[in-house]
Every structure is written in C-alpha cells, then in structure tokens.
A = this chain, B = another copy of it.
Amino acid sequence: MVNETQHTCSASSSSKSDGGSSSGSESSKDSSRCSTPVLDADRHERLREKMRRRQDSGDKWFSLEFFPPRTANAAVNLISRFDRMGAGGPLFIDVTWHPAGDPGSDKETSSMIIANTAVNYCGLETILHMTCCNQTKDDITGHLQKAKRLGLKNIMALRGDPVGEEWEEEVDGFNYAVDLVKHIRNEFDDYFDICVAGYPKGHPDAESYEADLRHLKEKVSAGADFIITQLFFRSETFLTFMKDCQAIGITCPIIPGIFPIQGYHSLRQLVKLSKLEVPQEIKDVIEPIKDNDAAIRNYGVELAVSMCRELLDSGMVHGLHFYTLNREVATTEVLKRLGIWKEDPRRPLPWAVSAHPKRRVEDVRPIFWASRPKSYIYRTQEWDDFPNGRWGNSSSPAFGELKDYYLFYLKSKSPREELLKMWGEELTGEESVFEVFTCYITGEPNKNGHKVTCMPWNDDPLATETNLLKEELEKVNRRGILTINSQPNINGKPSTDPIVGWGPSGGYVFQKAYLEFFTSSEIVTALLKVLKKYELRVNYHIVNVKGQNITNAPDLQPNAVTWGIFPGREIIQPTVVDPVSFLSWKDEAFALWIEQWAKLYEEESPSRMIIQYIHDNYYLVNLVDNDFPLENCLWQVVDDTFELLN
C-alpha cells in the first residue's frame, strides 16, 4: 500500500522522497535548500546549467553576439539595443574582444566595460570573448580577475589573430585557445563557464578538417563547457560537423552560429575575414540585387529562417547563436518568424534585475530609483550583500556618490537641443516648469509643439502603470506638485496582470499608493497641516536640499509598498520606502535639477536661475497611503492642501 501511494504520486519531477531516516534532526541536516525564494530559477543557475535545463525541457533558445562600438555615443545606443533585444529573451549575449581597442580597459567602449554594462545594468547573462595570442600570462590573468570582479561569469576563449606574418609559437606562451582554456581552469578553477569556437568547415589555418576536430576536442578536454561555431551557409554543414564531433567523443553542447545576411558589403567583409566561401546559389541571388539593401536583407532573413528551421527540425539543435553585427532588424525578424523571440511581459520583479552573481538573491530595493535602476545599481555596486527578504536586514546603506551625471550608462538618450525643445528654450517662471511636468504626464505637446518624452528623473515616457493615475497627476502638476514617482494602490491583482503583475503565475500582487514630488515650501506648510488629519494612515517624508527632514515614519523603519504572494513560497516584498535611503536619493534627485536641466542654460541666465531657485527652495516629498484596500487617499490629501491654500 505504501508503495502504491508512492507510485500514484503525480508530481514526479518535483517529488522528494526521503525514505529511511526517521530522525528529524538528521534528515534536516542532510537537506540543502535555497536561502531565498527562487522566483526565477534562471537567476540562480550558471549558464551551462541553464543550457542543460532548456535542453531537458525541450525549450528552444537563442543568443546574440555584439561587438564593442567605436564611440561613446555608439555605446549609449548599443546599451539601448541591449535593453530592446534583451526583451526577446536571449539565453545570453556575448561581446567580442577587440585587441586593438584596449579591450580590458575602463574606456566606455572597451569590450570589458560593454560586457560589464550588459551584465550589471541590462541584467543580461553575458559571455566576454578573450583572445590570448601575443599576450602575457599576467595580462590575461589581470583581465580575468577584472572580469570576475565585475560579475562576469562566462568567457569565450579564443586564440585571436596573430599580428603580422612573423608570428611564431612561444614556448610556455599562449599559442592556441586551448592554452587559454587551461589557464582559466588553472587559475580560476570552476568559476567561469568557458566557451570555445568550433569551425564547421575546419579552421582555415588548420592542417585538415580532422586535425581541427582534434584541436576542438583538446579544448573541450581542457575544460570548455560548450562550443559556438563559426558561421556557415548550409544546415548540412553544421549537422555533419556535429556528427563528426560526436563521433570523436565531444559531448558538450554545440551551438550553431547564424549569420543573417544583412547587406552586400558586410557579407563580403565577413567572408574575407573568416576565409569562408559563399555558396554559388547564394551568390547568384545576391549579385543582381547588390545595391538594394532591403532586398538583400529580406533574402538574408528568408535564408536564415529556412536554415534555422532545418537545424531545429533535425532534433540535434536546441539553441541558435546570432551574429548580429550590432544590428537589430534582421535578427529580430528571424527570431520572430522562428517563434523563439519570446517577449514576456511578465517581470520577475517590479524592477529590472541585475545579472551580477553577487546580486542573485537581491529582491528588495527602495522605490525611489524606480525610474533610474542603472543609477541604483551603480551606487550600490560596492555592496557586499544585497537585501533579501527584508530591506531592514541589510546593514545601514552606504550609497556611492553619483558625481558624474554623464556616466555613459546613465546618459540621456536625447541630445541637448532635443532637451531644450522639450523643457523650454527659455523659462519665464516656475509656472513654465509646471507646464513641462504637465506635458510629460499628459503626452500633449508643449506650447512650441514638442512632446516631452523624458524628464531629468526619468529618461523614458510615462510607465503604463503610472498612466492609471494620469488624470490626477495632470491636475496636481499643473498646480505645482511636481511629481517624479507614483504608483496606485493594488489589492490582490493576479500576478499575471499585464500592467501591475510580476513574478510567477498563480500569485497575487499588492501595492500601497505612493506619490513623490517636488513642491514649494508654501505648499509644504499647508500639506503638513492637512497631514495631521491623516496621521495614522499616511506616512510622509519631506526634505529640502539642505537635508531638513520631516517625517512620521516609526523608528526610521522601511515601509513595504509592493509585495506579492505566490503558491508555495515565502512573501516577496520588492519595493520599500526606506527613510534612510531617501536621504541619499534626495541628493541625487535635487542634483538632477542642476546637472540635467539648469546646465542646459547659460550661467546667470534667467532660465538657469529659475531652476536654481527651485533646487534651492523646493522640498522633495513622498507620501504612502497605508490603507491599500481602501480608495487611495493621497489625492484627497493634495486636494485638502490646495483648499487650505485658497
């Protein structure tokens, strides 16, 4: 009977059987468990485990290759592209190593910094390429240590192109990728997942196809976890290669490198570099249309889709690696047509998570940085532990200074001229500032006909969720309650709700209403009188640039304002209003007036002085309505305040 019940157990994959031991303390010591509710298993696995899990479950996946750009502006654009293409759900991206571009430096265009940005600021699992040819052991170790420090967990180990003709093997040097693989395993044990390159047609410099296969096997034996191949033009090329690999005992995942043809010149250049031959049937199609970019791209997409379909249909391929050439359209099109571009509107948490391994357990943040997650990540990058489960468990937060408002990953996407058009070439008084805020909320053009699509505190248009409050926000901004952050109250909506949902399905999400704004001291005086009536219901923090701080928060305790209840899990409370962090945030929030807005105007100009006046005299206020099941009372608080002023 006992056995029978065991057999009828329905949840076979998740059933745990702990037969035998009847001693509680023994069995509990044996068991290991996560220190945090795993809302998103992906965050807790290393890349090779993710790959294996997808393979086991049969979920097809893709990955994207980028190269570091030449200019800082191009880097800003590339990061936006990471964010957009990240939305399609790549298993990872990789960033190539440009030996000529100072790849391990702190320059904003270096391979290292681009990969760092992808991991930490865009939350993408990232592989950093690294070549070893012509480099010292110390250089390489230094690069690897830096990569580790920045939170990079995956290295693509490559030989790189020898410089010039006179290249000779160095004794004890790094002559081949296999030397780099060995070095990584020697110096960093199992810390990194290592990827190596495979050549479906054999490496052009190899003695033979077979010799190249043997080299590949050496790389795997030395510790590589998986293989990404050079591009190829026919699915048979890859499938044959894969069978040949398996035949000599290569069992790790082999991921085909897909190159959607996007233009005549880029194809020619790539082919030249990789010493590959373009099949005649492709040449025949392309040559006649070589000046028609759109036609070539359409053909490239078509070709890639049909080749990818053949690969996936073979049953031997679980993931596809795309050489994007830093472009979006063709790759995205191929992925969408294959049905593996999976734009999942569900967020694992209400804020974008970082992929740094230190931040794996992080699941609480102050709400203040809701529109500036990259700034929050930057300012907390030195933390050793990240709050998990409860904000109050973390030690007193020491936020790094945000001195450089032009850090490239915080840079506004809009140039100065654009900003002036949105925020006013010339301000005539505080009211013209009110108008800018109001136009941002409403989406209506300003009096010069320009839409206000960003603000110093938010580089993006209004969030969908904030749209729920649009009408009220418009009204209060018009009158000088200059809102920079808000959320409606939510009393148990399904976690799959397209606007306010987050986390796994089957759960319920909740919010306390929140409103944060700048306003004049006259309004603050009236507001404080009104707040007396709401003392037990509304928590407030009111602070000016000098740090004068008025609050009714009990014992400087954080107030959870977003939380979720999920099946079989502990409570998750991803955002809090933390009185201590608020004082760091106010420095940043006030400084943005000057750094992003006032400095658009000449010194001593009236426009600049208006912003400076606001910066010097306004208060930053946040309000939380604790009674989340009732109708949000914060609008009533603001109405009462205006009424008192009249």
Contacts and interface: CB of A to CB of B under 8 A. Distances in A.
B506 A626 contact: yes
Number of copies: 2
A548 interface: yes
Interface string A379-401: 00000000011111100111111
B568 A571 contact: no
A587 B550 contact: no
A32 to B, nearest CB: 7
Interface string A567-585: 1111101001001110111
Contact of A27 (B528, B559, B583): B583
A32 B555 CA distance: 10
A555 B5 contact: no
Nearest to A31: B580
Interface in A408-456: none
Interface residues of A, number: 104
A6 B570 contact: no
Given A506-B536, A549-B17, A569-B557, A531 B10 contact: yes
Nearest to A8: B528
B396 A580 contact: no
Contacts of A27: 547, 583-584
A566 B558 CA distance: 11
A544 B29 CA distance: 19
Contacts of A557: 33-34, 37-38, 568-570
B392 A390 contact: no
B22 A525 contact: no
A33 B580 contact: yes
A573 B555 CA distance: 20
A547 B20 contact: yes
A171 interface: no
A570 B392 contact: yes
A571 B569 contact: no
A482 B1 CA distance: 19
Contacts of A34: 392, 555-557
B626 A567 contact: yes
Given A24-B585, A510-B565, A546-B22, A36 B528 contact: no
A583 B506 contact: no
A401 B25 contact: yes
A54 to B, nearest CB: 18
A240 interface: no
Interface string A244-276: 000000000000000000000000000000000
A550 B6 contact: yes
A547 to B, nearest CB: 5
A547 B583 contact: no
A14 interface: yes
Contacts of A391: 570
A4 interface: yes
Given A24-B399, A571-B560, A626-B568, A548 B510 contact: no
A229 to B, nearest CB: 34
A25 B399 contact: yes
A221 interface: no
B22 A545 contact: yes
A529 interface: yes
A377 interface: no
B31 A556 contact: yes
A75 B37 CA distance: 43
B568 A554 contact: yes
A579 to B, nearest CB: 7
A547 B19 contact: yes
B547 A21 contact: yes
Q: Considering residues A508, A548, A549, A583, which has the most beta carbons from chain B within 10 angstroms of its beta carbon? A: A583
A313 interface: no
Contact of A560 (B537, B560, B570): B570
A551 interface: yes
Nearest to A23: B587
A105 interface: no
A539 interface: yes
A163 interface: no
Interface in A479-512: 491-492, 506, 508, 510
A395 to B, nearest CB: 8
A16 B397 CA distance: 18
A272 B393 CA distance: 56
Q: Considering residues A389, A532, A556, which has the most beta carbons from chain B within 10 angstroms of its beta carbon? A: A389
A571 B550 CA distance: 24
Contact of A2 (B1, B544, B554): B544
Closest 7 CB pairs of A and B: A24-B584, A389-B390, A567-B626, A11-B552, A24-B587, A10-B532, A1-B521
24 contacts: A1-B525, A2-B544, A4-B525, A19-B548, A20-B547, A22-B587, A24-B583, A24-B585, A25-B401, A25-B584, A27-B547, A31-B583, A33-B396, A35-B392, A37-B557, A38-B557, A388-B390, A393-B393, A491-B492, A552-B568, A557-B569, A558-B569, A559-B570, A560-B569
Given A25-B401, A33-B579, A559-B569, 13 more contacts: A4-B521, A4-B525, A5-B524, A16-B579, A28-B398, A29-B398, A33-B555, A389-B393, A391-B570, A392-B570, A508-B629, A539-B567, A559-B567
Interface of A: 1-2, 4-6, 8-11, 14-25, 27-29, 31-38, 388-393, 396-401, 491-492, 506, 508, 510, 521-522, 524-525, 528-529, 531-532, 535-537, 539, 542-560, 563, 565-571, 573, 576, 579-581, 583-588, 619, 624, 626, 628-629
